[in-house]
Structure 1
């Protein structure tokens, strides 16, 4: 069971990392819907809350790949099994970060963000935050089984 969860979790993390790498290399498709948005000058107009640089986006991709690597090491998926206690706790800490992202900062991201009709806010409520919960749960399963 935990091997299947690990495979699914690692696959999703790698796919998300590849999308971030695409954006870091200059790809634009879908990039306007993944950055939190704030109200613009005119009513109903939205603008990005920040503009991530290619460097930061590449760093996010690298971080996601490293998390996928940790998952693979924990269960021996394509890599030698590494059953060290520090790995279990590190993956658990990352799971907590995923849950924290899902809960949010009460203004821009997460389930408890301020209500907004922006495209990002809708996708965050329907896709991004639930995905963080699922990834967090998958990481906990991998860490403790």
Structure 2
């Protein structure tokens, strides 16, 4: 079962990585829905992106996601020889904790406990992005410790 879980994790991380490469190369599909938005006026009717991600930082995120997929492959021996060293186990566990921290959020823009809730991003974050981070974090812990 761990191997099947690892395959799902690798597929999800690789797919998200490829989407980030697409965005880094200038793609616009779904780009407006993945950046937190903040209100411009006091009433919160007009929103603007909280930041504009640069191409190079988006490539860095894509590379990091791909590295996570490769670490999972190393742990279970998919495409690469299995590595059962304690350091890999703890590294994957640390990444899982980062996933959980992302799901909890920064108390302002992202996560389950965010304050700014009226944007398209905020709704998607509550119902898709943060739950996905919880599932990915749990899956990483399972792969690391089982």
Q: Which residue of 2 aligns with 1:32?
A: 32
Once the two structures are superposed, residues 87-126 of structure 1 have per-residue CA deviations (whole angstroms, 9 ceiling, x without a partner) of 0000000000000000001000000001421000000000
SS in structure 1 of the partner of residue 78 of structure 2 = coil
Gaps of 5+ in 1: none
**Cα distance between partner residues in 1 of 2:69 and 2:118:** 33
Give the deviation of 1:73 after TM superposition.
0.1
* Runs of 4+ residues over 4 Å off in structure 1: none
**Cα distance between partner residues in 1 of 2:32 and 2:140:** 28
Give the deviation of 1:29 after TM superposition.
0.6
Greater shift in the superposed pair: 36-45 or 124-133: 36-45
Give the deviation of 1:142 after TM superposition.
0.5
For residues 1-145 of structure 1, what are the structure 2 equivalents within 5 Å?
1-41=1-41, 43-145=44-146
TM-score (norm 2): 0.97
SS in structure 2 of the partner of residue 70 of structure 1 = helix
**How big is the alpha-carbon RMSD for the aligned residues of Structure 1 and Structure 2?**
0.9
**Cα distance between partner residues in 2 of 1:142 and 1:75:** 8
Gaps of 5+ in 2: none
